Amino acid sequence: MFDQPAFPIPSRSQPGPTKNKLSTKAVVICLALAATISAAALIYANILAQRYGLPPVRISESIGLGGLILIFSFPFWILRRLLHHYRSGQPNPAALIRDDILKNKFHFFMSLCIYVILFYAFASYTTIKVLIPSVMDFYFDIDARYLEYKIFGNDLVYYTHKFVGTYPTLAVEWFYSLWHVVNIYTAMWVIFSKNYVLKLRALITMLMSWIFLGSVMAIALSSVGPILFDHFYGGTAFAPLLDRLARLSEYGIGATMKARQFLLDNYGTLRLGSGISAMPSLHVGMAFLWFLMVPREYPGIRYLALAYFAVILFGSVHLGWHWLSDGIVSVVFVFGFWNLAGWIVQTANGNSSYARKSRAIAADRPG
């Protein structure tokens, strides 16, 4: 069965693998790789949890982002299909949804597999993030701050607040808070999309980013960011920043300071959203990935995604969550992961230069 192109099925005039169509074999290979990454993260998280006194990653403790994705995903998909069938004038949209599921059983099985992969990857990431200071004391902020001093002559966050007033800062805070909503929507799209070339590339990039950047690298470069610098390192270097952010609650909801207090209140506790890590910035890295995911055929959406990435990059510094280097490092690695994931998907589908050379060599062999 693996020899039959399945996602989507190419026409007879276009036999064999193409860059925009994946064979069933390629889909299975990519999902197997994604499952391996997620399983490795789960094993790593459980080893660390056992060593440092946290309970192991279990389903009951993994409800969080994965649970939110599950809660929103299926109603979202059903509503989208209902609207699609209603607009096309179908007399019984509910029956057509049932037929959709029956006719696309393999697609839904793959969607379930992707959900499980993401579920445990996010759970493992949360566990590892909580354990960062147990494995490696916070230290990298000193180096990151020194770098900003060498380049800018002061903490960059004070330059941004010098030129950006209260209301623009409130707007930045609001868009920054939307990141979690966009992240959940992206995971939903990766689960249900039938564009297997793009979704598998995005899935592999997400996993490599969350596990390598958000777990392994976050431990190696253990840091808290400017907003928590004084609390963990002592002193009052960022007291003016905290005062400025606290005053924002007079104009809005004060999301940044509430999130800061949540992190401190739940420090060392395993729950959704807990754990402290600045370097590298997954907020910036994922926002950059969302820009990369938008096809070039949609320039308007690409410009919006690029603008949102710019807001997140600026907001990560302006709101004190990250040093500038946190975001730059994430962008570099995510771009590399994105290209590596593209090569993996095309190689699995027989479209890479290596695969083409291998086929040419095999064709030239006698007998």
Would you state the pLDDT for residue 7?
44
Would you state the pLDDT for residue 64?
54
Residue count (the chain): 367
Task: Look at residue 222 and give its three-state secondary structure.
Answer: coil
Positions of E strands within the chain? 5-7, 22-23
Give the pair of three-digit tokens for residue 200: 């598998």
Query: Which distant-in-sequence residues (6+ apart) come within 8 Å of 32 by Cβ?
Result: none
- pLDDT tens for each residue of 216-233: 999 999 999 999 999 999
* Domains in the chain, number: 1
Would you state the pLDDT for residue 86?
72
d(CA 173, CA 170): 5
d(CA 220, CA 147): 18
- Which residue numbers in the chain have pLDDT < 50? 1-18, 59-61, 354, 358-364, 366-367
Would you state the pLDDT for residue 82?
75
* Predicted TM-score of the model (pTM): 0.85
Positions of E strands within 220-338? none
Would you state the pLDDT for residue 269?
79
Which structural domain range is residue 153 located in? 5-364
How far out from the chain centre does Cα 309 lie? 13
